[in-house]
């Protein structure tokens, strides 16, 4: 299996229990490292300021092939965790890297392409049909379509008016409980997963505090997370999606769901990407 991940790397400023730590991460790091350590061939297409490239050492440590495209700035996000609930997070966009262009994606060809953007506008919606044609399977994460920075940088999740045009382009679409509720109004895990799928994607991955739920229109597949630390919360969904995508290329959806929950549970015990 070969997989290409597209999205900005991120200079994270995480405030946990009153202490701020700087972490050079982003969804594409968690997804790429997880995929690589599960045996996939991995390529990352990302953007950041040239002076920040050397700090994203997780790619090098996991021997991930990464293409850094030029950008005037890097995306940087402040994440505040006010409680021990890993789903309780307040995010503010400090700075943003340049959006992707058609030229950036013009040479992509992969079995699987995972669009792992961090905020709406990072990957323009009009590029999606072109990206779809370059992927055997196209996966996406809801945060790149619902997460909107305000004038003060505060990031809020808002519904996507174009969702009935956008979501049918995805073979696999990942949401968490808050994102699913915004898209569908549903709070029950299964009903929310079902409602998201009715918007168009072939398979839905829904992560929640207790685990992961996958729905393909025929069956629900569920597996629990076995534990977490708040420090390990960042990257939960990115790790889960990557593990599921690698798993579904080799095994049944039920087995891929179990693998995704197991790998994510391990990753949530520590800061940084999955260690294998």
Q: What is the DSSP string of 100-136?
A: P-HHHHTT--EEEEEE--SSTTSS-GGGHHHHHTTEE
With a pLDDT cut of 70, the percent of the chain lying above it is 99
Classify residue 106: in a domain, yes or no: yes
**Alpha-carbon span 106 to 22, nearest angstrom:** 33
Inside any domain, residue 251: yes
For residue 87, what pLDDT is reported? 63
In a domain, residue 165? The reply is: yes
Q: How far apart (Å, rounded) are the C-alpha atoms in residues 242 and 221?
A: 17
Number of domains comprising the chain? 1
User: Is residue 198 in some structural domain?
Assistant: yes
Domain membership flag for residue 273: no
> What is the pTM assigned to this prediction?
0.94
Mean pLDDT of 174-186: 97
| Structural domain includes residue 258 | yes
Which residues form the domain of 191?
2-267
| Residue 199 is assigned to a structural domain of this protein | yes
For 74-95, what is each residue's pLDDT tens digit?
999 998 888 766 567 788 999 9
For residue 199, is pLDDT > 70? yes
**226 assigned to some structural domain:** yes
102 vs 123: CA distance, rounded Å: 10
Of 63-67, 134-138, 268-272, least confident by mean pLDDT is 268-272
CATH of the domain at 225: 3.40.1190.20
Task: List Cβ neighbours of 106 (8 Å cut-off, separation of 6 or more).
Answer: none
């Amino acid at each position: 299996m070969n997989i290409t991940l597209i999205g900005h790397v991120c200079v994270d400023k995480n405030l946990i229990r009153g202490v701020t730590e700087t972490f050079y991460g982003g969804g594409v790091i968690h997804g790429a490292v997880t995929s690589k350590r599960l045996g996939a061939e991995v390529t990352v297409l990302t953007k950041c300021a040239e002076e920040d490239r050397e700090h994203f050492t997780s790619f090098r440590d996991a021997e991930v092939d990464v293409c850094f495209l030029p950008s005037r700035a890097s995306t940087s996000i402040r994440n505040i965790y006010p409680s021990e609930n890993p789903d309780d997070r307040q995010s503010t966009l400090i700075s943003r890297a340049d959006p992707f262009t058609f030229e950036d994606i013009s040479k992509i060809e992969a079995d699987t392409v995972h669009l792992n953007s961090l905020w709406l506008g990072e990957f323009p919606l009009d590029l999606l049909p072109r990206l779809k044609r370059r992927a055997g399977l196209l996966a996406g994460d809801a945060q790149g379509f619902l997460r909107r920075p305000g004038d003060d940088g505060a990031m809020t999740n808002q519904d996507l008016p174009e969702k009935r045009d956008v979501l049918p382009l995805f073979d696999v679409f990942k949401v968490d409980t808050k994102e699913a509720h915004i898209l569908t109004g549903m709070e029950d895990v299964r009903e929310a997963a079902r409602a998201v799928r009715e918007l168009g994607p072939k398979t839905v991955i829904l992560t929640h505090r207790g685990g992961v739920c996958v729905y393909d229109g025929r069956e629900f597949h569920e597996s629990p997370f076995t534990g977490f630390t708040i420090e390990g919360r960042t990257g939960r969904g990115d790790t889960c999606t990557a593990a599921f995508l690698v798993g579904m290329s080799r095994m049944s959806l039920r087995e891929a769901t179990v693998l995704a929950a197991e790998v994510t549970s391990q990753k949530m015990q520590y800061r940084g990407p999955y260690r294998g």
